[in-house]
Amino acid sequence: AQTVTQSQPEMSVQEAETVTLSCTYDTSESDYYLFWYKQPPSRQMILVIRQEAYKQQNATENRFSVNFQKAAKSFSLKISDSQLGDAAMYFCAYRSTQGGSEKLVFGKGTKLTVNP
Amino acid sequence: AAGVIQSPRHLIKEKRETATLKCYPIPRHDTVYWYQQGPGQDPQFLISFYEKMQSDKGSIPDRFSAQQFSDYHSELNMSSLELGDSALYFCASSLGVGNQPQHFGDGTRLSIL
């Protein structure tokens, strides 16, 4: 079974600075998807960014980018120019590509605080 | 853009009661997923449906059942409720499977007294 590990329960960053959230995963599959979801205090689960394992190019969405290291099974999220609205719980998630197994497997989350 | 609609937003029940949670996916989405998120926990997968058929099953108690209807909305039925069932229940939907991302609703907060 796949597992996702987020080793940083909490992180903090100053407004306008850059922060990197770590995520590692364990799988025997060669093709899969990885996601970062954001959960603010309003409790919504918001998709931040996704990466397909067969793509070597790191995904980027505006101020959010990932560092995908397939061999190391690492999938970190970098947030540039941090804003107060970025404060939230961030979950890293894995999804298999095998048919009938499309569920998301989440890490325990990293709580990000943005200081003004 | 239309999002995933879950109802009710909050629900309070007592032990041994039953509850039904509803999920209306994004229009044209044919796949629905249910997740349970306990206090301070990560979401745990319960069950999913694709084209009205169960496609995957996770750690869903036998006291729970779910189905997807012809209009693709889904209902999660929970019986003999226990204190430990208090959680945030998310529904997510996607268009088919494969590389399509799951879009989450705002969740139903279930509290068992």
Q: With the CA atoms of A74, A88, B97 and B88 taken in that order, what torsion angle do they form, in degrees rounded to the nearest 10?
A: 120
Q: B106 and A44: CB-CB below 8 Å?
A: yes
Local confidence band at A99 (pLDDT 50, 70, 90 cut-offs): low
pLDDT of A102 higher than 90: no
Handedness of CA A108, A61, A41, B34 (dihedral sign): negative
CA–CA separation, A57 and A59 (whole Å):
6
Per the prediction, chain B carries an average pLDDT of: 94
Q: pLDDT for B14-59, tens place per residue?
A: 999 999 999 999 999 999 999 999 999 999 999 999 999 998 899 8
Other Cβ atoms within 10 Å of B61 Cβ, number: 14
Q: Which residues of A touch B43 (CB under 8 A)?
A: 45, 91, 104, 106
pLDDT above 90 covers a percentage of chain B that reads: 88
Local confidence band at B98 (pLDDT 50, 70, 90 cut-offs): low
Q: B42 and A35: CB-CB below 8 Å?
A: no
Nearest CA in chain A to B5: A44
Task: Return the HEC string of A59-106.
Answer: CEECCEEEEEECCCCEEEEEECCCCHHHCEEEEEEEEECCCCCCCEEE
Q: How do beta strands B10-13 and B108-112 pair?
A: parallel
Q: B45 and A104: CB-CB below 8 Å?
A: yes
Choose among A33, A47, A106: nearest Cβ to B43.
A106
Local confidence band at A100 (pLDDT 50, 70, 90 cut-offs): low
* CB B23 within 8 Å of CB B31: no
Choose among A43, A97, A109: nearest Cβ to B107.
A43
Local confidence band at A2 (pLDDT 50, 70, 90 cut-offs): confident
